[in-house]
Amino acid sequence: MEDSSDYNARVVFNAGTSNVDVYIDNVSLINVLPGDFNLDNCVKFDDLDVLTSEWLKEESGLIADLQENGRIDFNDFAIFAESFKFPCSTTLVTEKDAKSVLVPTSDIGYDWIGNAEPYDVNGWDQIKVSDCPSGVGYENNPGDAINYTDLIAHDVGAQMSGIMTSCYIRIPFVLDIDPNELNSLTLKIRYDDGFVAYINGQVLTRDNFDAPIPPMPDWNDNADNGHADAEARLLQPFRVNRIDDPNVFNALQPGDNILAIHGLNVSTGSSDFLISAQLHAGN
């Protein structure tokens, strides 16, 4: 459920368990895990005169008694809330979004990853698609049982196959909410064979490229390992939380931002290559 609306609810957290009982409008029960939503308007134990011990016993399953002073005598720890808000998941980048693509033939530095905007993309291929396929890549064996032909909108085979293992992709996006409200970023990506992803010059996530960063990957670097075609076709999620990597969240800004992806093939002799990505943010 992805919804930023407020609901009247009773929420019960039980110590020693991972379960949370949520009663929306005192009608339905939803089982969720801690951290799946934000609480506000928390009710103090002293103010729980709206509840009765009968409700607690019959609907929450807890054994609790209301004392004369309005306090609750629990045999276990519990917290109640009057309302809660499910997290709002915002799509920042879709696979069909406009993008700039370059297969480098020499070192062009690192300004392209979004740390020196506005960046001049003169000489880059400008890709705009209205529907799938929407990926960047090439496929030398379209007759194979598993291939990428149906996923590729921009074919870079002439520039990469037998020649180059790197491909640069820049995807602009607009952030119309306060970046400080975001606590997670999830890159969902189809990739063959590896990648390093950046937001406004800060590393977001990567796979199949294990060298220390910095320094940034070179213009002619390659992936450390191959990525099986069947897996590469699927959107693989890479989630980053603010608490684990605050730098990439601090790089976000209201308005214009850049998702930059350095796509990496395992070798110049590879028969295929693919990059196609989405970006989602959560509060």
Q: State pLDDT tens for residues 182-233.
A: 999 999 999 999 999 999 999 999 999 999 998 999 999 999 999 999 999 9
DSSP state string for 22-89: EEETTTEEEEE-TTSSEEEEEPPGGGGGG--HHHIIIII---EEE-TTS-EEESS----EEEEEPPPE
Give CA–CA dist 59/260, Å, rounded.
50
- DSSP character for 231? H
Segments forming the whole domain that contains residue 76? 6-87
Q: What is the pTM of this model?
A: 0.72
Q: State pLDDT tens for residues 144-170.
A: 999 999 999 999 999 999 999 999 999
Pair (165, 220) in one structural domain: yes
- Among candidate residues 34, 68, 87, the one where a domain is terminated: 87
Identify whether 1 is part of a domain. no
| CATH code, domain with 207 | 2.60.120
pLDDT at 133: 75
pLDDT at 253: 96
CB 93 within 8 A of CB 279: yes
